[in-house]
A and B are shown apart, each in its own frame.
Chain A
């Protein structure tokens, strides 16, 4: 329906403003009140299901979406093989987020000021990276996902590329995946509801203590390896065990070491409140502390030392309100902690394995599939520094994020969200001069997939 906005010159601006405001509010409420949501449109196109069937709010999965994913992107209704699709069907989705953002950091070493620290703020229009998600089934019970992904300059890499053999021996408890894939995190960073520079990742999924050289244990990064997984028919109970090359998913990075990611979880039907889940995980293994080089090019990783991260997580629903809880304890070898290559070089005096504890609580309020509010509070606390001379709180992090996503129209073929977010991260003693560092992000974006 067209809104009758008067065009007479006599009409005062305030009246126009009022009418526009009311119209906007009415339109917002009208659209927010309607149904359904959006998803990876390639799957929506394939199965003719509303996107909200799989997503609490896109891209966060609900229980049905989790089961669909656990089944290898299959509904198990006999129509999963691509032979059932119209030959013109193309299992591809593009996702990108044009945005306006503001970044602020309180202490940056400025060359023109002789290296003195200054607060730096910049803002402007920008693009996110681009994900090209192509996934689905190659045949009944053989699924795949390939994600050529570009940063916002257009430089591409393979974010994921895997094939999965589903329901081996006709059992949902036996599935094998090989390639580069996201670790089996129920609390997925790839489907997180925050996008800004500071808020667009979980701190704990990438945490490295100050002075630590172990970049191979990032739970949030897709890894190269093979994964055995299984689940009950409704995915209430699930497990996975992955064996990974310790190269943090980087192709062509020479590494002869391996790590493992193990997780298990159990969900509970809590009646009208929803379906809650609790689980545990362990990421442990060895990784090289240095590389032999040939012409300055690394040719093989050496001096393997160990690391581990372990913890628990939970998803708890109170009807429209839900809480995501995550806890992690981390440990790195003292060689990593002090960036000492294990090639015979002695550890610094008093060196010890750094440890830390951390967690976050993320709260969502899903007013309806079209309007979604969130906050996340995350804390990381060092419990032991690699060098006793370091301040005990060096590298501690406090991170807070809040925002909302509004899905203005509902359509089963594309996803679109107006994304608003503010995030602030404080870290102890990590400015160039060793002072506390505070950085914040504001982002308004149009997040869409088609």
Chain B
């Protein structure tokens, strides 16, 4: 009887003790976010302010990204892929090296462009000021912005002329870098690893199918594609190849990947003339 009566308070105490760090962490995050409400963004001549962005965030974004920006809005449970958790300060679409924070322009462009193949629509109809304010508000969620500065945008050399040799070289890179393991030998997003890929939140993620679209998650131009494999898509299995691929080789890869896309392009015409076949995942010895 006595023991039984002790169980309640003891259990309660234990629960409270165990819960404390969790509550504390959550409160700290909220406190830190509150302290960062003075966050600004700078996009061209625009200055965005977090306190001004709050209204737009609560109108447009909160249903998916949640009040705390942690990607747990009321609709998040129905979404695939899940909404971004801004508190981590990890962004896919960047012009900056892997592991670094994106520039304000990067986040601004992502808001305008939306993210293909996800629930994130194009917010281009919003005013430019509203988008700049949203960038500042998105930044205020992560403590990374209190201690780190965005990375320096990578250098993108001028785009060379597309040639048959460059396309063939690009295909060789596709083989050597084992892009086919995820994207498949024809770039259809069905490589042998495709089904087992997960993102940084342990959610399943599908590799890009180049045959589906002319654009990508992070843009639609050749420069955007160049940027994607030189900066990587942080938070996804797509790594940065900046350390292993030289700029010239990166352009070759761009040209080769363009041959897979549905749009009419010079690269595609050349590939047709070459009679380009998909890469062989198991090349004979000595071949690469």
Residues of A that sit less than 8 Å from B by CB: 35-37, 47-50, 52-53, 63-64, 66-67, 75-79, 233-236, 269-272, 274-275, 368-369, 411-412
**A324 CA / B118 CA spacing, docked (Å):** 35
Q: Which of B34-67 contact A (CB under 8 A)?
A: 52, 55, 58-60, 62-64, 67
Q: Which residues of A contact B122 (CB under 8 A)?
A: 75-77, 233
- Shortest Cβ distance from residue A271 to the other chain B in the assembled complex, whole angstroms: 5
Contact B119 A79 (CB under 8 A): yes
Stretch in contact with the other chain, from B19-27, B126-134, B160-168, B195-203: B126-134
Q: Which residues of B contact A63 (CB under 8 A)?
A: 125-127
B116 near A: Cβ within 8 Å?
A: yes
**A8 CA / B92 CA spacing, docked (Å):** 62
Q: Which residues of A contact B213 (CB under 8 A)?
A: 78
B74 near A: Cβ within 8 Å?
A: yes
B3 near A: Cβ within 8 Å?
A: no
**A412 CA / B75 CA spacing, docked (Å):** 8
Nearest chain-A residue to B78 (Cβ)? A48
- Shortest Cβ distance from residue B209 to the other chain A in the assembled complex, whole angstroms: 11
Nearest chain-B residue to A51 (Cβ)? B63
Nearest chain-B residue to A45 (Cβ)? B78
Contact A269 B127 (CB under 8 A): yes
24 contacts between A and B (CB under 8 A): A48-B79, A49-B75, A49-B121, A52-B58, A52-B59, A52-B60, A67-B124, A67-B125, A75-B121, A75-B122, A76-B121, A77-B117, A77-B118, A77-B120, A77-B121, A78-B212, A79-B117, A233-B124, A235-B125, A269-B129, A271-B127, A271-B128, A274-B127, A275-B127
Nearest chain-A residue to B60 (Cβ)? A53
**A368 CA / B127 CA spacing, docked (Å):** 18
B123 near A: Cβ within 8 Å?
A: yes
Contact B124 A36 (CB under 8 A): no
Known: A36-B63, A37-B59. A66 touches B125 (CB 8 A): yes
Interface residues on B, range: 20 to 34
Contact A35 B126 (CB under 8 A): no
Nearest chain-A residue to B59 (Cβ)? A52
Task: Specify which of A53, A235, A272, A412 is in contact with B129 (CB 8 Å cutoff).
Answer: A272
Q: Which residues of B contact A275 (CB under 8 A)?
A: 125, 127
**A270 CA / B79 CA spacing, docked (Å):** 34
- What's the dominant secondary structure at chain A's contact region? loop
- Shortest Cβ distance from residue A316 to the other chain B in the assembled complex, whole angstroms: 14
Contact A78 B123 (CB under 8 A): no
Contact B74 A412 (CB under 8 A): yes
**A275 CA / B63 CA spacing, docked (Å):** 23
Nearest chain-A residue to B128 (Cβ)? A269
**A64 CA / B74 CA spacing, docked (Å):** 20
Contact B59 A50 (CB under 8 A): yes
**A20 CA / B117 CA spacing, docked (Å):** 50
B114 near A: Cβ within 8 Å?
A: yes
Task: Specify which of B119, B126, B212 is in contact with A48 (CB 8 Å cutoff).
Answer: B119
Contact B118 A49 (CB under 8 A): no
- Shortest Cβ distance from residue B45 to the other chain A in the assembled complex, whole angstroms: 10
Contact A48 B116 (CB under 8 A): no
Q: Which residues of A contact B123 (CB under 8 A)?
A: 64
- Shortest Cβ distance from residue B5 to the other chain A in the assembled complex, whole angstroms: 28
Known: A78-B117, A79-B119. A48 touches B128 (CB 8 A): no
- The 0/1 profile, CB within 8 Å of A marked 1, for residues 123-148 of chain B is 11111110000000000000000000
Q: Which residues of A contact B67 (CB under 8 A)?
A: 35
Q: Which residues of B contact A49 (CB under 8 A)?
A: 60, 63-64, 75, 119, 121
**A235 CA / B127 CA spacing, docked (Å):** 12
Q: Which residues of B contact A48 (CB under 8 A)?
A: 63-64, 75, 78-79, 119
**A343 CA / B139 CA spacing, docked (Å):** 73
- Shortest Cβ distance from residue A195 to the other chain B in the assembled complex, whole angstroms: 23
Q: Which residues of A contact B60 (CB under 8 A)?
A: 49-50, 52-53, 64
**A236 CA / B125 CA spacing, docked (Å):** 8
- Shortest Cβ distance from residue B96 to the other chain A in the assembled complex, whole angstroms: 25
Nearest chain-B residue to A49 (Cβ)? B63
Task: Specify which of A47, A53, A64, A77 is in contact with B116 (CB 8 Å cutoff).
Answer: A77
Q: Which of B208-264 contact A (CB under 8 A)?
A: 212-213
- Shortest Cβ distance from residue A346 to the other chain B in the assembled complex, whole angstroms: 55
Q: Which residues of A contact B115 (CB under 8 A)?
A: 77
Contact A369 B59 (CB under 8 A): yes
- Shortest Cβ distance from residue A280 to the other chain B in the assembled complex, whole angstroms: 21
- Shortest Cβ distance from residue B182 to the other chain A in the assembled complex, whole angstroms: 19
19 additional contacts (CB under 8 A) given A50-B59, A63-B127, A233-B124: A36-B63, A48-B63, A48-B79, A49-B63, A50-B60, A50-B62, A50-B75, A53-B63, A75-B114, A77-B122, A78-B116, A78-B117, A269-B127, A269-B128, A269-B129, A272-B52, A274-B127, A411-B74, A412-B63
